[in-house]
Structure 1
Amino acid sequence: MIAARTGGAAILTGVGLTIGYTALISGADAITKMFAASYAAPQLFALSGGIVALLAVLADRAGPAPRGVRTACPRAMAIRSAATVLGAAAFFHAFRLLPFAEVFLFIAMIPLFAALLSGPVLGESVRPQAWGALMLGLVGLLWVAPAGISSLGLGHAVALAAVLLGTISMMASRYIGTRDVNLLAQVFWPNLALAGVMACALPFVWAPMGRADLGWACAYGALLFAARWLLVGAFRALPAYVITPLMNLQFLWMVVIGAAIFGEVPGAAIYIGATLVITAGVWLIYDQVYPAATMRRVVTAE
């Protein structure tokens, strides 16, 4: 069982990397929301994808032992790249069509999809306690939807598609991460694919950009590079069904950003939902630690 083989250092590393990822990706999401009001998706992603791919190459060359961008899992990388391109476009339009709370309501489904795929795709067993924590996290994020999900429209369908594609990309990342130590390859290839595909559509949707917007686009690329690098490392340290619920901490960052930048005042339901999500994350961490600690005590006793 994966949980039984995961050490304490790997757990702390995975949790720390995931928390850092949520902070960085929340900043990138805020920029996405700003751009979605005035520009088409290719205008942001063609530039940012190219920036992230370039940063990946520079980071590799600056390292003590450059590995290049070769991958040991080309088929899985192709799946991850395709899911990343389609998922990025879907999330961009979801942020345009829906409020943050409703988008995150769908993002709450990612842990459930990840848990369903962990067994057949990754061979990672999911303990019953983890299912309980996953359900608690979903209930917590249901509190965040002020209007509920009684009326579904195009935006909800796009958000659901984005979540499914995001889950596929994360599963592929976990699969590659357990077989290939070259983390930067996972950052380089999906973003190169994103830049290439979006560049093909760019001539049809281009709108003039001022220096400020160009600067925000560059900042988006830098945040995305750092966030994805951290996330790849997190998936190498912990199973996907533990990482994905912890990623819901992103909502807490969005509450802070929404209040500070967009003037959104969160209601009591948001804090209740956040408490449940944090509780679910702590529960999953405990479920990850407890079997390993029990096994160490048994070995010591023998």
Structure 2
Amino acid sequence: MRPRLHSFRLAGAGLVAIYTALMSGADGITKFIAGQFAAPQLYAISGLIVVILSILADRHKTQQRGLRTGCPKAMALRSAATVIAVVSFFHAFRLLPFADVFLFVGLIPIFAGLMSGPILGERVRPAAWAALVAAFVGVMCLFPQGLHGLEAGHIWALLASVLGTFSMIMARYIGRVEQNALAQVFYPNLAIAITMGLALPFVWKPMGLSDLALICAYAVLLFMGRWVLVVALGRLEAYVVTPLMNLQFAWMVIIGAVFFGEFPSAGTYLGVAIVMGSGLFLIWDQLSPNLPPKPRLGPPGNLRSDP
């Protein structure tokens, strides 16, 4: 049983690595679009595309369960948090360099550790807390000047990180009740498409075919990434998944240098090394032979929004 449990968790770690590559590409497109168009123009179109892709993917499943959810209230909370998080990240990318935004992305594991207890009832081991603290220190290495001179972009980034973490925690919460991963992609993006569509007439600007192609590419990357993340959250504890997501730093260093001319300092590379090391340590700790087997599904925490 133990080898199967290890393989199950290793597969989850691999899915998270794929997710970081997909979302880094989507973030690069967001930064480019944010310099030319308002948030509703990106998210109304991309959200609608993801909704359509979800419906098409659901029609090709062998088990026709549809996109129904057994956790409507929890799904509504996840959807609302997702809408605010994506808009906040949009403004953060518009106002800040990549490195500054990912200072706050690096805080996501800390937020996840704080939320996992009351919402998911998952006990975070002391060794894992040590890895989380190390990850935070690694992110701080990216900014030796500290957090002086906070601007609007930093507030947007902080809000995005908090609500983005809550959305992921809710994904794992819902995953304990149902296994319909597509539903967790469909409903948040439906909420994005509707809310951004309402604002779209007020901010619309003419677009070229190249811009539309970028938004379509963004939607495909987002669809694939969010689907992969939901599946990964069903295989690993939230506090393990979120530090692994800091692998995204490596992708962002490459994208920032190639497409935006942002060349990190030595402190950036040191921070990336510490962050990635803390994520690998969490995987080692999760697969430690001294860790008793833990069932995949468990009782939810104190949040009682759905059965």
2:162 alignment partner, SS class: helix
CA contact (8 A) 1:60 1:66 kept: yes
Name 1:174's counterpart in structure 2. 172
Alpha-carbon distance in structure 2 between the residues aligned to 1:257 and 1:216: 15
Check the 8 A contact 1:6/1:238 in 2, yes or no.
Answer: no
For structure 1, the residue ranges without an aligned partner over 5 or more in a row are 297-302
Take 2:4 and 2:206, find their aligned partners in 1: how far apart are those partners? 50
Tell me which residue corresponds to 2:160: 162
How many residues are paired up? 293
- Measured against aligned partners, the alpha-carbon deviations of 1:183-206 in whole angstroms (never above 9, x if no partner) come to 000000000000000000000000
Matched residue of 1:72: which SS? coil
Shift of 1:267: 1.8
Q: CA deviation at 1:149?
A: 1.1
Identify the residue that residue 244 of structure 2 maps to in structure 1: 246
Query: For the Cα contact (< 8 Å) 2:98–2:256, is it kept in 1?
Result: no
- What's the CA shift for 1:263? 2.1
Aligned to 2:88: 90
Q: Please report how far the alpha carbon of residue 107 of structure 1 lies from its aligned counterpart in structure 2 after TM superposition.
A: 1.0
Picking from 74, 77, 80, the partner of 1:76 is 74
Distance between the aligned counterparts of 2:106 and 2:209, measured in 1? 36
Matched, 1:285 2:264: no
Q: Tell me how far apart the structure 2 counterparts of residues 97 and 192 of structure 1 sit (CA, whole Å).
A: 27
CA distance in 1, matches of 2:8, 2:95: 39
Partner letter of residue 120 of structure 1?
Answer: P
- RMSD (Å) for aligned C-alpha atoms: 1.7
Residue number in structure 1 paired with 2:270: 272
- Listed one character per residue, the Cα deviations across residues 151-210 of structure 1 (whole Å, up to 9, x for unaligned) are 112111111111111011011001011211100000000000000000000000000000
Aligned in 2, Cα 1:196/1:6: closer, same or farther, shift over 3 Å? farther
Q: Secondary structure at the match of 2:178?
A: coil
The offset of 1:145, in angstroms, is 2.3
Deviation digits for residues 64-88 of structure 1 (CA, Å, limit 9, x no counterpart): 2222110111111000000000111
Tell me how far apart the structure 1 counterparts of residues 135 and 4 of structure 2 sit (CA, whole Å).
23
Cα distance change of structure 1 residues 6 and 111 upon mapping to structure 2, 3 Å threshold: farther
Provide Cα deviations, 1:15-46, integer angstroms capped at 9, x if missing partner: 01000000000000000000110100000000
Partner of 1:226: 224
Task: Tell me the SS of whatever aligns to 1:145.
Answer: coil
Amino acid at match of 2:60: A
Would the alpha carbon gap of residues 86 and 5 (structure 1) be closer, same or farther in structure 2, given more than 3 Å must change?
A: farther
Matching residue's letter, 1:14 = G
Q: Is the 8 A contact 2:70 2:178 kept in 1?
A: yes
* Contact 1:246/1:281, CA 8 A, preserved across alignment: yes
2:181 and 2:230 in contact (8 A); partners too: yes
In 2 relative to 1, CA 5–204 (structure 1 residues): closer, same or farther, beyond 3 Å? farther
Deviation at 1:293, TM superposition (A): 6.0
More helix by share: 1
SS in 1 for 2:260: coil
Counterpart Cα distance in 1 of 2:237 and 2:3: 11
For 2:11, the equivalent position in structure 1 comes to: 13
* Residue in structure 2 matching 1:194, options 192, 195, 201: 192
TM-score by length of 1: 0.94
Tell me how far 1:146 sits from its aligned partner. 5.3
Give me the whole-angstrom Cα distance separating, in 2, the residues matched to 1:24 and 1:294: 33
Q: Distance in 2 between matches of 1:6 and 1:29?
A: 34
Please point out which of 59, 62, 66 is paired with 2:60. Answer: 62
Q: Deviations over 1:243-296 (max 9, x none)?
A: 000001101001111122122222211111111011101111111111566669
Please tell me the residue identity of whatever aligns with 2:159.
Answer: A
Contact 1:7 1:292 in 2 (8 A): no
**Greater alpha carbon shift after TM alignment, 266-275 vs 204-213:** 266-275
- Which of 20, 23, 28 is the equivalent residue of 1:22? 20
Q: Which residue in the other structure is 1:184 paired with?
A: 182
The equivalent of 1:299 in structure 2 is none
Contact 2:116 2:239 (8 Å CA) reproduced: yes
- Between the aligned residues of both structures, percent identity stands at 56
Distance, in Å, in 2 between the alignment partners of 1:291 and 1:164 is: 33
The one-letter code matched in structure 2 to 1:129 is: A
Gap change, CA 1:6 and 1:170, over 3 Å in 2: farther
Q: Give the one of 95, 99, 114 matched to 2:97.
A: 99
TM-score normalised by length of structure 2: 0.92
1:7 and 1:272 mapped to 2: Cα distance?
A: 33
